[in-house]
């Protein structure tokens, strides 16, 4: 539901739904990443950065998908880190990587040649509208 709100630029609703999911998940890093991205989209970069720290601490102790970390950097519009973590997601063969071309969290990278190159490495491309 948070993705649908994000796609429709209903940012505060996206944050509300993601926050409820984060609490219901017992604060797992994957949902922290989603919530951080929603906070960033809603203009609350400070809260997104706090959640990024939570996720990075968890990443030091257990597996956290690189794609989840990439989404936070996308929300923060940190191009370099977003692309670095997307490359890591590709290398670790993250199951949900194939949704990247249509995932609204990555749409700000659609004009980036390096994003296109990453997608092409696994035979993906953006839809031509």
Tens-digit pLDDT profile for residues 56-112: 999 999 999 999 899 899 989 999 999 999 999 989 887 787 888 888 788 889 899
- What does the pLDDT read at residue 105? 82
List Cβ neighbours of 1 (8 Å cut-off, separation of 6 or more). Answer: 17
123: confidence class by pLDDT, cuts 50, 70, 90: confident
Render pLDDT for 13-46 as a digit per residue (tens, 0 to 9): 999 999 999 999 988 888 888 899 899 989 999 9
- What does the pLDDT read at residue 129? 55
Q: Reduce the DSSP state of residue 107 to 3 states and report it.
A: helix
Query: How far is 81 from 71, CA to CA, in rounded Å?
Result: 10
Residue located via tokens 């970069």: 45
Query: How far is 38 from 24, CA to CA, in rounded Å?
Result: 17
Query: How far is 129 from 34, CA to CA, in rounded Å?
Result: 27
Per-residue buried b or exposed e for 41-72, using 16+ beta carbons within 10 Å of the residue's own CB: bbebbebbeebbeebeebeeeeebbbbbbbbb
Question: Would residue 10 be called left, alpha or beta, if left means φ above 0 and alpha means ψ between -120 and 50 degrees?
Answer: beta
- What does the pLDDT read at residue 99? 82
- What does the pLDDT read at residue 128? 67
* Mean pLDDT calculated for residue range 106-123: 90
């Amino acid at each position: 539901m948070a993705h649908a709100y994000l796609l429709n630029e209903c940012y505060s609703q996206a944050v509300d739904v993601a926050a409820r999911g984060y609490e219901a998940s017992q604060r797992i890093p994957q949902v922290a990443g989603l919530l951080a991205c929603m906070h960033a989209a809603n203009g609350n970069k400070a809260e997104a950065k706090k959640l990024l720290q939570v996720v990075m601490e968890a990443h030091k102790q257990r597996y956290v998908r690189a794609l989840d970390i990439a989404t936070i950097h996308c929300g923060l519009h940190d191009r370099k880190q977003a692309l670095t973590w997307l490359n890591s997601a590709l290398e670790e063969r993250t199951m949900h990587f194939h949704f990247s071309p249509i995932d609204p969290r990555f749409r700000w990278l659609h004009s980036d040649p390096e994003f296109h190159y990453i997608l092409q490495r696994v035979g993906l491309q953006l839809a031509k509208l």
